[in-house]
Chains A and B, each alone.
Chain A
């Protein structure tokens, strides 16, 4: 960097600027990574402590109704297979050293490596979440824009009322109503599962999958729409009331032009930030939607892990969720600052 600036003294400002920006970006990235690692560690310690404090005995949970047939020797074998005999600190450190080496351990409940369980279940959830996420983003932004432009008019009032209703409706309840209407009464959509019952995987087409995905995804997106609508509406309203819009209007620009050229970019920032930071809620909502629709994603696996005291799996899912939500938030941050340079300067000043 120094070599570059000294060799091109004629253009110090751009070179300097680029170098400076690159350095701070790298620094920011590094600090974000450090924060992520600390966060992951804290989440792991907290989850592990919670699991230790749980009254559920992992072997009892695993044995279930077989308690009559499992003797002390067999229990000892199970405890040994799972490494439950070691003191908690030792269990945690051996788990941690495994994780550092990239091995999340073995899930008791599913008798499979944790990474495989998460990968398998998450793919199912991902399809659901990404469709819901896109739907809620696009619809939410569109409605918010419309409401903001027509502020105070009937359209605005209807949209706002609808958003408030949705914001206060629990996911599972919305899911129930949709299920009742579309699967049971109208019989347009299937009652359960991600694939048709009795059909071999090779026979299951994309349309089948979409058919099974539709209702859970709509449920999930409906719940995510409300905050996007309300925030977008607010941002649009502020932009519409600003001096520069008034000035443009005075120069004869029409509403469509105003919105496209002056308002859209301003409103997109908060919407995107919100959309990315809602990944946590999306995750939580998907657990409920999966339960309602018997959709076998990460939600079902989380339940099984918790009820079975499957420590490696639950820790794995906790870490994965943290990573997922954190990445979402960071992406939202970056995109927001890219759309709205003012936030970048504020960040640098801090």
Chain B
């Protein structure tokens, strides 16, 4: 029944789109900034707007403000904090607060509220992981000390993403009636339909240009229809719908680290098993020559054009374009000659189109979730691209259930992407081997591990960045080639010609809400 409904809504969307084309666009009659901005970018937070449960971890928490924030280049800048420092052992973070911040109920925001927010978030069992925190102490009215149980340079991301809630007003119904010190206040939330927010006149920062912003939560097709009918100033659309044109709107493709890549089982199959009895290792992908050859042979530009219809970029690693990305880790894509050379040098001999070594055929499975057409396209293309090399990849569309059981012994087409380098740590650290979806291939390299650990325990972000970069040269295609990263997606938005959204940040995995990160800077230009 649900499937029918989905199909139905898709058909509705198409019908509406075709009709909306003829309907034309309403342009605002008078010039000047309109009172209200309508956005159809999805991202409804069904469990409400409580940062201690995870609200605001993407983009802007709207109603609350954070200690630090990231600018368009993802550089960390102060928000509520005026200064922050980390102790030499990396265990105590001291944050000085500005004194002019007020909650929307008029109460001042103090260090006690910050301590309360972090303490609550560390115990709440929500979507923001603050488990590294051991305690948070307000040492005076505008200074707070965050004590960690282990050094964690990436903890800075909690300072960036965790909106501060008022201790005096954080009760059971807070998630539906948020009070904060952010640029907007909540007017009304019609669950499943729309969120109406209003400019917070008492906000200490740059006040938004729009008095009111309405977020509508329609499905993808209805969203496009609304844009075509002139009922939205911004609409997030899937890239397969981005080729249409809408009068009065332009297409804005936003770069992202929302990436796709092939994870290889890194160790050989020696009969080892996980605690749950799942096989570990693969005798083909455990060979570095195979992994490197695939990395070289894959034509990533062709994948971007063919599978992503141009809305994306070739991927060289898991953190392309982020401040801690190492450009030297990139390789030349689509180099079949080099790939063949690597295989021949490693002793893989061609026998009837498939290479062999010591009786082992250069053949393995590549799993992808069957309902994801994008990953299907990538998996099948990669299999085609490496076939001339003499490597046989069998792309298999399966359920996540099956992937969960086979991810340690079969290659899998995964997607990641985060503005937090913790993800890079988790993907390549041997300490995370077999934990959740992290490092499913049991990758382990002592030198890389040393760099990752140094980056994690660094007390200075610059220093951490140096180590993050060093680690990439170790695990990327030029090194161990633990993964074959394929593409970075672009997120596509239709934006009114009158709306200037500035320079958007590189977005993480997931679509929609992250684009609001710079919402206070948006301007109306007509």
Contacts and interface: CB of A to CB of B under 8 A. Distances in A.
10 contacts: A62-B127, A66-B54, A68-B418, A79-B125, A112-B176, A179-B12, A193-B194, A197-B194, A197-B231, A292-B8
B399 A180 contact: no
Given A197-B194, A198-B36, A306 B2 contact: yes
A217 to B, nearest CB: 17
Interface of B: 1-2, 4-6, 8-9, 11-12, 15-16, 19-20, 23, 36, 38, 46-48, 50, 53-54, 57, 123-129, 131, 175-176, 187-188, 190-194, 196, 212, 214, 216, 218-219, 222, 225-226, 229, 231, 399-401, 416-418, 420, 422-423, 426, 435-438, 508-510
B47 A294 contact: no
Given A77-B131, A81-B125, A191 B15 contact: no
Q: What 8 pairs between A and B have smallest CB-CB spacing?
A: A296-B192, A81-B125, A172-B8, A111-B47, A184-B19, A77-B125, A291-B5, A68-B423
Nearest to A71: B129
A184 B20 contact: yes
A173 B226 contact: no
A183 B229 CA distance: 12
Nearest to B193: A193
Contacts of A68: 416-418, 420, 422-423, 426, 438, 509
B188 A180 contact: no
B191 A120 contact: yes
A324 interface: no
A317 interface: no
Contacts of B426: 68
A114 interface: no
A187 interface: yes
A201 B6 CA distance: 29
A192 B218 contact: yes
B218 to A, nearest CB: 6
A121 B191 CA distance: 9
A304 B191 CA distance: 12
A82 B46 CA distance: 17
Given A67-B436, A70-B129, A198-B36, 20 more contacts: A68-B426, A69-B423, A74-B125, A77-B123, A77-B131, A82-B125, A108-B47, A110-B47, A111-B48, A112-B176, A175-B12, A184-B225, A185-B19, A192-B193, A192-B226, A194-B190, A197-B38, A288-B8, A294-B218, A303-B5
A332 B176 CA distance: 40
A331 interface: no
Interface string A74-104: 1101111110000000000000000000000
A347 interface: no
A80 B417 CA distance: 28
A294 B127 contact: no
Given A68-B509, A187-B23, A294 B436 contact: no
Contacts of B38: 197-198
A205 interface: no
A221 interface: no
A65 B226 CA distance: 26
Contacts of A40: none
A69 B19 contact: no
Interface residues of A, number: 60
A249 B126 CA distance: 75
Interface string A287-304: 110011010100010011
A307 to B, nearest CB: 8
A287 B3 CA distance: 12
Contacts of B225: 184, 191
Nearest to B213: A198
A120 B176 CA distance: 13
A73 interface: yes
Interface in A245-278: none
Contacts of B12: 175-176, 179-180, 292
Interface of A: 55, 60, 62-75, 77-82, 108-112, 120-121, 170, 172-173, 175-176, 179-180, 183-185, 187, 191-195, 197-198, 200-201, 284, 287-288, 291-292, 294, 296, 300, 303-304, 306
A193 B142 CA distance: 45
A interface majority secondary structure: helix
A332 B236 CA distance: 48
A109 B15 contact: no
Contacts of B188: 200-201
A180 B193 contact: no
Contacts of A170: 4
Q: Which of B5, B16, B508 has the most CB of A within 10 A?
A: B5
Contacts of B19: 180, 184-185
A110 B196 CA distance: 18
A294 B125 contact: no
A71 B222 contact: no
Contacts of B123: 77
B131 A73 contact: yes
A83 B129 CA distance: 19
Contacts of A109: 46-47
B124 A198 contact: no
Nearest to A54: B401
A192 B194 CA distance: 11
B15 A180 contact: yes
A191 B226 CA distance: 9
B57 A66 contact: yes
A110 B173 CA distance: 12
Given A194-B193, A195-B193, A78 B16 contact: no
Nearest to B54: A66
A160 B418 CA distance: 60
A292 B225 CA distance: 14
Q: Which of A63, A75, A294 has the most CB of B within 10 A?
A: A294
A173 B16 contact: no
A191 B231 CA distance: 11
A143 B207 CA distance: 61
Nearest to A183: B16
Contacts of B46: 109-111, 304
Contacts of B422: 68-69
B35 to A, nearest CB: 10
A79 B436 CA distance: 14
A341 B54 CA distance: 61
Contacts of A303: 2, 5
A222 to B, nearest CB: 15
A300 B192 contact: yes
Contact of B124 (A77, A192, A287): A77
B279 to A, nearest CB: 20
Contacts of B401: 55
Contacts of B53: 111
A81 B50 CA distance: 16
Contacts of A110: 46-48, 191
A80 B125 contact: yes
A200 B212 CA distance: 11
Nearest to B17: A184
